[in-house]
Amino acid sequence: METTFREESADPRTQSVPLSHLSLELGHLYMEDFAAGAGRLREQFTRVKPWADAARLSVAGAAGARRPRVSTCFLVDDYFTRFSSPAELVPMLLAEAEACGLTIDYLARESGCATADGVEPASLVEGRLVESPPVGSNGSRPAVREIGWLCNGERSPAAGGGEAMSGATAWAAPAETGARRHSVFMDVELWDDGDRGRTWSCPFLAAVWQLLRLGLLRREGRPVLQAVPWGGERGAFPRSWDDLPPLVQLNPSAAPFAAYGTFSVLPSRFLPVEHAVRLVLGQVALEEAVLRQTAERADREGFAVPPAVTDRAAYAFYAEP
């Protein structure tokens, strides 16, 4: 019988990340929001402020005697459309938030959920997708990696070759796995592949964004997407989004970016997207070492963290201005 000796350093060590109690998202910015002007931003932040205050009070109660660590973040779309520039947009964004009594600690580019610092967070998550097979499935359904779609149950069977052909499959309604009497079925497109390569969908990148905020992604044991401080020595913000780091720390005294839980305050038009995010999060097999590490740290702090990752993300949706 052969005995194989391995140095302990040969196994990748799972590095930890600093964690706040709560990552509080103050909004997403897309081209149509910017085009509406600074007034639109102020209207949105005015609606966000009461929910942000309520979230801080809630986590303060959960943290007990400890002073709660809460960091705020804001996501800008530079993946699907490129508009304005950091030099023009970021000062306006910070000024409008401050006018409403809000501080943005971290600014993230949505493209960083696809590629950041030589790492592809979206590809890491794709590699950890584990579909939940519906009851009675026989393996004939194409895998998510083949078709780029993920659902929460059983799709309607594919149509047969027509009425004239024998053995044509009869139509049946889709069914949600674990439905409570009636189904709420959802089928989410995660990406599409074209001549210019793969384009990740908004719901899938939003799911990656949640996992980054929860500090649950690693590549070979190392954290993914590290915040880069943007201080006085760096000067003005750049004219190009490509020259801005994927995640920027704007507040030098901010609590850590990643957190035990997330809370996102968003316009109601994002509700379908975030419903899809929860579907994706429920079918991602994360590294056990990372999950165990987070659970043990929370236990030492006496801070309750839900076992299911899906339950660590909470939301408030407000009516559009």
Query: pLDDT digit string (tens) for 40-64?
Result: 999 999 999 999 999 999 999 887 7
Number of folded domains that form the chain: 1
Least confident range from 2-6, 231-235, 313-317: namely: 2-6
- In tens, the pLDDT along 125-151 reads 999 999 876 666 655 678 898 899 999
Which of 25, 54, 31, 27 lies closest to 43, judged by CA?
27
Position 292 in a domain: yes
Higher pLDDT, 287 or 131: 287
Query: 297 or 176: whose pLDDT is higher?
Result: 297
Res. 2: pLDDT tops 90: no
> Using 50, 70 and 90 to split pLDDT, how confident is the model at 1?
very low
Is 3 inside any structural domain?
no
Q: Any bridge partners for residue 154, and if so which? A: 175
Picking from 14-28, 128-142, 247-261, which range would have the lowest pLDDT averaged per residue? 128-142
Lowest mean per-residue pLDDT among 69-78, 118-127, 130-139, 237-246: 130-139
CA 136, distance to chain mean position in Å, is 32
Give domain status of residue 84, yes or no. yes
In a domain, residue 170? The reply is no
| Residue 147 located in a structural domain | no
Angstrom distances, CA of residue 44 to CA of 210, 222, 312? 21, 36, 24
Residue range of the domain that includes 214 = 15-120+197-269+283-318
Name the packing angle between helices 202-213 and 271-281 (round to 10°).
60
Least Cα distance to 186 among 310, 275, 283 occurs for 275
Residue 113 lies in a domain: yes
Beta bridge partners of 259: 20
Residue 122 has pLDDT above 50, yes or no: yes
Which pLDDT belongs to residue 156? 84
pLDDT for 80 beyond 80:
yes
Average pLDDT, the chain: 89
Mean pLDDT: which of 102-111, 179-188, 234-243 is highest? 102-111
Identify whether 217 is part of a domain. yes
- Please state the rounded mean pLDDT for residues 19-35: 92
Residue of 211, 306, 312, 318 whose CA lies nearest to 263: 312
Q: Does residue 150 contact residue 131 with C-beta atoms inside 8 Å?
A: yes
Has residue 66 been placed in a domain?
yes
Which of 209, 25, 257, 230 is closest to 112 using CA atoms? 209
